[in-house]
Amino acid sequence: MAPRRSKGKTIKKDLKDAAANASNSRVFVLAARTGFAVSGCLHILIGAIAVQLAFGKAKEADQGGAMAQLAKQPAGAFLLWIGFAACAALALWQLSEVVFGHRQLKPASKLGKKLSAAGQGVVFVALAVLFASFGLGGGKNSGQSTSDATAQIMKAPLGPPLLIVIGVAIAVVGIVFGVRGINRSFKKKLVLPASPAGRSIITYLGVAGFLAKGIALLLVGLLFIIATIQARPKESTGLDGALKAVREQPYGIYLLTLIGAGLICYGLYQITKARFAKM
């Protein structure tokens, strides 16, 4: 019996090694890096829409709005499916890091890295699904979808506490993004270029981008919480609603313009990350 168990363990180890090698193959990593570039392009579009929104041009300033704009371009369907493939590859790479990555780290550090990779994987799975939805012609108003989903959850048992937890979680993620921007800790995940000018440009893009993304996510989380407390789910409309709410505040036009510019910086940072990310 012992030799059989040993053979079974050997086969299992070989399969795990083969899967790990596949996740680190040149082609797969290149496809995953493209996912960062796609995410960057989306953020640039969202930032540009936010700036237009600041000056009264009503559009959806979120991923759905950006994809709707992309779908209207020549070869838009082709670009949407390229986005789907790239985000799906990056999602798979992030999830492979949960299983195979960070083996050399201590248990506590390993758990944090794996949870971060899992979160990123879920984000890019959602983006891939959204790309596929628009590619199939089924893309919807994401703000309306968010408010509809919020209303359904609010009606469920323990729905309001769950929505508050979701709002708090999104707000906390926003704060984490802001802290990463201030501390410049995002640089730990990059192999920065040797050129001082190149390093400075990437750093400045990252600082501005992480701060803007953090503010946007914090606002989304706060909208979830406020809409739940006031039992007004229609006000919970995701990023688009959060940015439109900023515009209604004193000096909102200027603040929204800054946030839009920051999101463009984050998009440019994501594009540079496609080249310089540690993978």
Greater pLDDT, 23 or 223:
223
Number of domains in the chain: 1
Q: Of all residues in the chain, what percent carry a pLDDT higher than 90?
A: 15
The confidence score (pLDDT) of residue 101 equals: 65
Distance of CA 84 to the CA centre of its chain: 14
Residue 56 has φ and ψ, to the nearest 5°, of: 95, 5
- pLDDT above 80 for 125: yes
Confidence of residue 1 (pLDDT cuts 50, 70, 90): very low
Show the domain range for 6.
2-276
Greater pLDDT, 73 or 198:
198
The confidence score (pLDDT) of residue 21 equals: 53
Let me know if 230 is exposed, middle or buried by CB neighbors in 10 A (0-12, 13-18, 19+).
exposed
Cα separation, 235 vs 86, in Å, equals: 33
Average pLDDT of span 71-99: 81
pTM of the model: 0.75
Residue 277 has φ and ψ, to the nearest 5°, of: -65, 145
Helix (H) or strand (E) holding 73: none
Confidence of residue 232 (pLDDT cuts 50, 70, 90): low
The confidence score (pLDDT) of residue 2 equals: 47
The confidence score (pLDDT) of residue 235 equals: 55
The confidence score (pLDDT) of residue 65 equals: 65
Q: List, for residues 234-276, the tens digit of each pLDDT value.
A: 555 566 677 777 777 777 888 888 888 999 999 999 999 999 9
Greater pLDDT, 133 or 262:
262
CB atoms within 10 A of CB 232: 14
